[in-house]
Amino acid sequence: MPSTRAEPLVQTFNRIALINHRTFPGIFMLILMVCPTLWSQHQNEIVATLDGPTNQIRIRQHFTYVNQSSQGLSTLYFNDWNHAYSNKNTALAKRFGEEFNRSLHLAKDRERGHTTIKTIVDNNYAGLDWKRRGNTDIIAVKLNQILKPGESVKLFFTYTIKLPEAKFTGYGHTGNGYNLKDWYLTPAVFTNGDWELYDNMNLDDLYTDITDTRINFTFPNLLYVASNYRMSVVSNFPGGQHVQLFGDKRKSCEIILTIDERFTKHITGHLNITTDIESNKYEEIAQGISINNISQFLYENLGEYPHDNLLVSEYDYNRSPLYGISQLPSFIRPYEERFQFEMKFLKTAIRNYLKESLYLNPRKERWVNDAIGYYLMIKFVEEHYPDQKLIGKLSRIWGLKNFHLAQMDFNEQYALFSMLSARKNIDQALTTSNDSLIKFNEKIANGYKAGLGMSYLSAYLGKREIDSTVLNFYKNYKQKQGVSSQDFRKTIEKYADKDVDWFFDEYVSTDKKIDFKIKKIQKSEDSITFTLKNKRGTNVPISVFGLANDSVVSQYWFSGIDTTRSFTIPRNSEDRLVLNYDQKIPEFNQRDNWKTLNGWLSSNKKLKFQFFKDTEDPYYNQVFYVPIANFNLYDGITPGLRLYNKTFLERQFQYDISPTYSFLERTLVGKVGFRYRKYHQKTGLYVTNYSFSASTSHFQENSRFTTITPAVSFGWRPNDLRSNRRQNLLFRYRSVYRSIDESLVGELDTDPDYGVMNVRFTDVDNNILNYSLWSIDAQHSSEFTKLALELEYRKLFQSNRQLNLRFYAGKFLRNKTQSNFFSFALDRPTDYMFDLAYLGRSEDSGLYSQQVIIAEGGFKSKLENPFANDWIATTNASTNIWRWIEAYGDLGFIKNKGDNTRFVYDSGIRLNLVTDYFELYFPVYSNRGWEIAQDNYGERIRFIVTISPRTLTGLFTRKWF
C-alpha cells in the first residue's frame, strides 16, 4: 500500500484538478517530478485524454521503476500491446493469418491501432534512447546509468495511442463506445535473470509487473464509464468528463465506455461487482439474488477478493464463452434462464477473480488458473444443479431423449471436449505455452482438461483435501509477485495423504493418454479377482466401481499399474465391474471399461441402431443411420440411407456404407468405405491410414462404372502443431469396371475394365496469406506409365493484392493407348480414376459441360484438340482487380506423338467468391480469338461449385484445428 506521505499528495492533486480542469495535467506532472516517492514497488501515474473524433488517447505517464532483482539493469522493457494492430507483420497479424482470418491484413489504416512515442526522459530531464524489438509491441528503454538492485529510476513518457477498431479482437473503438484493455505502457517482468517478453497474440495473457497505479482519465461527454479499478466520482466540465482510477498492487487497468448506462453495481456481503451481464427473460431481482449467491460461493471456495471492485462484463464473457450448446441462438437455448445466467456470470467472474489476484505467468502457466476455475465450475453445478443435463430441456423431448448425448450430465462435457482433441491426436500438455497451442486447445480443450484434472484429484484424494488446497493457495499467494505452478504443487502435496507426483509428471506435463481395461475376471463366493491392463503405460490411478442393477455398491482406487496387475476385492452383490464409472478421469477409450460377472454371453454388447450421430455409449455397439441424397446428371437425385459408426469423437476403425437409389436408372448405386487410422506420435510421421473403398454410379445413360480401391497412406507434420503444413504419401490401386449401354459400345475406344497403380506425394502449407503446394503423381497400368508434377502458390501482398500461380507438367514414360481417354487434358480431364466430383462427367455441351475442376492443365477456355498423349506443361495465374474480381491467364505447351509442340493460352475474368468452393470464369481472349465477342458466349462461361456438406464444413472448422 502507498505510504502515509503519498496519500496527501494524491489528495492535493484532487483539489487542484477540481479547481481548474484545463491546467491539472501540467500541475500534476510537476508535483510528481519534485516530490520524492517512498514506495518499495513500481509506481505508475498517468494523465490520459481520449479524443472522440480521432479515437486517440494522449498520455503523459510518470513511471517509477524499482529494481527488485539482484542484478543491475541497463535496459528496461515495456509492453506496448496497442501497437500490435499497427501493420501486417506483427505477431498478432501473423497469428490471425494462421487461423484463416484476413481482417487485420486487409484492414485500412484508419482501422488500425498504433502508438506514437514523442519523448522518454528520466528525472534529470535527460532524453533516453529507446527502440522496438524488431516489429513487435515491446519497447526497450536504455538507461543513462546502471540501475542497481533496490534502487529506483523515474521515467516520463509522452505518447499518443491510436485505438484500433474493436472488430479485430473486441478491444478498441466499438462504434458506439470503447473497450480499453492493455492500452498503455506497462513494465515487462524481469525474473530469474531474464526478461519475459511476449507479443500480443490475442490471447489475453499480458504479463506485466505489479504496480500502484493512479490514472486521471478525461473522456468525451455522453459516455458512461466502468472499470476494474476503483473509481472516483465522475466530474463534468465543458466539453468532457473526468474520472480518477486507483489500483493498488494491480496489473493493467481496463476501461469500458458506453453510450448507455448499462453497467450496474452489486454490493454483496463479500464483494462489490460491476457488471453488464444480464438476461432479458430473467427478472432483475432474481439476477441480483444469483449474483449474491455466486459472490458467496467465490468467497467460500477462494477467500476474500483483495480489490475494491470486480468487473464482470459481456466483453470478457464473449472472449471466453461457454462453448457448445449454450452458444445457440437465444430462442432455442435449452437451459432454464436462471441456470444459463448463473453459468455465464460464474465463468466470467471466476476468470477475472483469479486473473486479477493470482499473478502467475499467464502465457506459460495459465493451466493453474484453468484448473482452479473449471474445478469450481464443476463443483458449482454438482452442488446447485446436480440433475442438469448437457442438452438441458432437449433431453426430455421425444426423439432426442434416447440419444446418449441427452443422457449425459452437464459436467460430462469437460471429458467430452478434452477427448475430442485427444482422439484427433492434437492434444497438448497443459504446460504448453499459450502461443504454441492449437486454437481449439487454447480456447476449450486444455482448460477443460485442467479442470477435469482437479476433479480427478478430488475423487482420488478427497473433496475436502482439494477444497482446502484451493483455499490455502489463494489465501497465501494472491497479489504476490513471482508465484508459480511449483507453489501450487507444493500446496497440493501439503494436503495430500497419497502420492500425487503422477498428476504433475504425467497428467499435467505430458500429452500421454490414459487408457485402462479389465482384461479378465474370476469370482468366488466371497471375492472377485480381476486383472487391469494399462494400455498406454501412463502410470496414474484408476477407479473401479462395482455395480448391481446399475447402482454403485462398491468403489476402489488402484495405482502403480505399469502394464498389467491383478487385484482381489470382497464380493458383495456386484453384477458388473466398471472402470471410471463417474467419468472423473479423461480416459481415451471407455468402450472396454466394463466386465460382467454373469458369464461370457451376457458380456456381449447389444447392437444399437440410432438416428444421426451421437456421443459414444460404452455399453452398446452403436450403428448410426441418416437419410442422404446425392446428385449427378445420369442418376438424378439419389436418395438413400447412410450407415456408419463414427461418433462425435474420432475412432480408429470407421465404416461408412451409403446405398442410394437412382430413380432415373431404376437401380441401386452408392459407396462403401472402411478405414483404420493409426496415430504414431504428434510430429514427424504421425499417422498411417489403411482403407478399402468401393463405389458405383453411372457415367452415361444405362452405363455404370464401379471402382474398388485398397489404399494406404502416411502423413507427416512439423514440430509446430499450429502449423498448417502437412505431407502425405499415398499408395492405392484403383480397379475400374464399366458396363456400357449397347447403343454406346461402338463409341467406347478403350477396354471397359482396367486397373491403375497410383503413388502420390503431396506437401501443402494451407496458409491464408501464403499458400503453397507441390505434389508428384505416378501412375502405372498395363497400357501406360506416366508422371506428373504440380506446383501451386498463393500470396496476399502488403498492398492487399493476391497473386495465384499454378504450374503443371506431365509426361508419358510409356503409352500404348489408342485414344485420349488416358491422355493429359487442358481443361476437362476425362477423370478415368473417377476422383473428380463432376455433375455430368460425359457431357461435352450444355450447362454441365461448363463445370470446371482445376486439374491437369487447368485451362478455362475450351480449345480445340485439348489432349496430349506425350507431354504437357502449363501455367495458370490470376490476380485481383478489385476485391473478389480477378484477372486470370493460362498458357502452356502440349505435345502429341507425331505432332509438333503447340503453344496454347487463354485469359479472362474470375469471380473468386469462395476460393476452391464457388468461382465463375468469364473467358475474354484465347487461341480462339476474342471469345467475349463470339456467338453463344454464355456457353463459354465456366464455374466451380462444391455441394458436398462434408467439404463445405471444412471452411468453418479449419481455423480451430
In sequence order, what DSSP letters do the residues of 171-215 get, joined into one string? -EE-SSEEEESS-S-EEPEEETTEEE-----SSS------EEEEE
Is a pLDDT exceeding 80 seen at residue 326? no
447-480 tens-digit pLDDT: 999 999 999 999 999 999 999 999 999 999 999 9
Grid cell listed for 727 = 505431407
User: For residue 910, what is the enclosing H or E element?
Assistant: strand 902-914
Confidence of residue 888 (pLDDT cuts 50, 70, 90): very high
- How many Cα atoms within 13 Å fall on the side-chain side of residue 14? 16
Q: Is the pTM of this model over 0.75?
A: yes
How many whole angstroms separate alpha carbon 395 and alpha carbon 389?
7
Torsion of CA 390, 392, 396, 402, to 10 degrees: -20
The arithmetic mean of pLDDT across residues 483-498, rounded, is 96
Look up residue 224 and give its amino acid: Y
Residues of the chain with CATH 1.10.390.10: 366-508
Partners of 712 in the β-ladder:
690, 731
Confidence of residue 617 (pLDDT cuts 50, 70, 90): confident
Residue 745 pLDDT? 64
H runs (alpha helix) in 207-336: 284-301, 314-319
How many whole angstroms separate alpha carbon 127 and alpha carbon 143?
9
Distances (CA, A) of 283 to 232, 266, 385, 509: 30, 15, 20, 45
How many whole angstroms separate alpha carbon 952 and alpha carbon 917?
8
351-372 tens-digit pLDDT: 999 999 999 999 999 999 999 9
Question: In b/e form, how buried is each residue of 675-684, taking b as 16+ CB within 10 angstroms?
Answer: bebebeeeee
Is a pLDDT exceeding 80 seen at residue 31? no
User: Between residues 17 and 174, which one has the greater pLDDT?
Assistant: 174
Is a pLDDT exceeding 50 seen at residue 805? yes
How many whole angstroms separate alpha carbon 160 and alpha carbon 171?
17
Confidence of residue 735 (pLDDT cuts 50, 70, 90): very high
Pairing of strands 211-219, 42-51: parallel
Residues of the chain with CATH 2.60.40.1730: 6-262
- Angle ∠(172,958,952) on CA atoms, nearest 5: 115
User: What is the edge-to-edge ordering of all strands in the sheet holding 255-258?
Assistant: 172-173, 177-180, 255-258, 224-227
3-state secondary structure of 747: helix
User: Between residues 618 and 435, which one has the greater pLDDT?
Assistant: 435
For domain 6-262, the question of CATH label 3.40.50.11740 is answered with no
How many whole angstroms separate alpha carbon 237 and alpha carbon 47?
16
Count Cβ atoms below 10 Å from residue 124 Cβ, excluding itself: 9
756-770 tens-digit pLDDT: 999 999 999 998 889
Least confident of 257-261, 545-549, 706-710: 545-549
User: For residue 13, what is the enclosing H or E element?
Assistant: helix 6-19
Is a pLDDT exceeding 60 seen at residue 607? yes
Describe the crossing of helices 485-495 and 463-477 by its angle, rounded to 10 degrees: 140
User: What is the edge-to-edge ordering of all strands in the sheet holding 264-267?
Assistant: 264-267, 272-275, 310-312
The CATH architecture to which 516-604 belongs is: Sandwich (2.60)
The arithmetic mean of pLDDT across residues 295-307, rounded, is 96
How many whole angstroms separate alpha carbon 342 and alpha carbon 349?
10
Q: Where are the beta strands (DSSP E) in 663-745?
A: 667-679, 684-700, 703-717, 725-739
Contacts of 819 (CB under 8 A, 6+ apart): 749, 750
125-143 tens-digit pLDDT: 899 999 998 778 999 999 9
Partners of 735 in the β-ladder:
708, 755
3-state secondary structure of 745: helix
Residue 590 pLDDT? 87
Look up residue 186 and give its amino acid: T
Confidence of residue 32 (pLDDT cuts 50, 70, 90): very low
550-572 tens-digit pLDDT: 889 999 999 999 999 999 999 98
Nearest to 114 by CA among 180, 160, 176: 160
Confidence of residue 879 (pLDDT cuts 50, 70, 90): very high
Partners of 606 in the β-ladder:
620
Contact 117, 157 (CB under 8 A): yes
Question: In b/e form, how buried is each residue of 613-633, taking b as 16+ CB within 10 angstroms?
Answer: ebbbbbbbebebeeeeebebb
H runs (alpha helix) in 600-754: 600-603
Is a pLDDT exceeding 90 seen at residue 726? yes
The arithmetic mean of pLDDT across residues 22-36, rounded, is 41
Q: Where are the beta strands (DSSP E) in 551-666?
A: 551-558, 564-570, 576-579, 594-596, 606-611, 620-632, 636-644, 653-662
Grid cell listed for 408 = 449425459
Contact 373, 491 (CB under 8 A): no
Nearest to 338 by CA among 417, 408, 281: 281
215-248 tens-digit pLDDT: 999 999 999 999 999 999 999 999 899 999 999 9
User: For residue 925, what is the enclosing H or E element?
Assistant: strand 918-926
Count Cβ atoms below 10 Å from residue 898 Cβ, excluding itself: 7
Confidence of residue 746 (pLDDT cuts 50, 70, 90): low
The arithmetic mean of pLDDT across residues 694-703, rounded, is 92
Is a pLDDT exceeding 70 seen at residue 331? no
Is a pLDDT exceeding 70 seen at residue 211? yes
Is a pLDDT exceeding 50 seen at residue 1? no
Distances (CA, A) of 626 to 396, 642, 657, 693: 22, 5, 11, 20
Least confident of 201-205, 252-256, 359-363, 746-750: 746-750
Q: Which CATH number fits domain 366-508: 1.20.1250.20, 1.10.390.10, 1.10.10.10, 3.40.190.10?
A: 1.10.390.10
The arithmetic mean of pLDDT across residues 809-834, rounded, is 94
How many whole angstroms separate alpha carbon 224 and alpha carbon 241?
10
Grid cell listed for 224 = 458512461
Nearest to 720 by CA among 686, 758, 691, 683: 683
User: Between residues 811 and 802, which one has the greater pLDDT?
Assistant: 811
SS (H, E, C) 279-294: CCCCCHHHHHHHHHHH
55-114 tens-digit pLDDT: 999 999 999 999 999 999 999 999 999 999 999 999 999 999 888 888 998 899 999 999
Provide the phi-psi class of 936: left if phi over 0, else alpha when psi is between -120 and 50, else beta. Answer: left
For the chain, give the mean pLDDT.
90
Residue 955 pLDDT? 60
Residue 960 pLDDT? 74
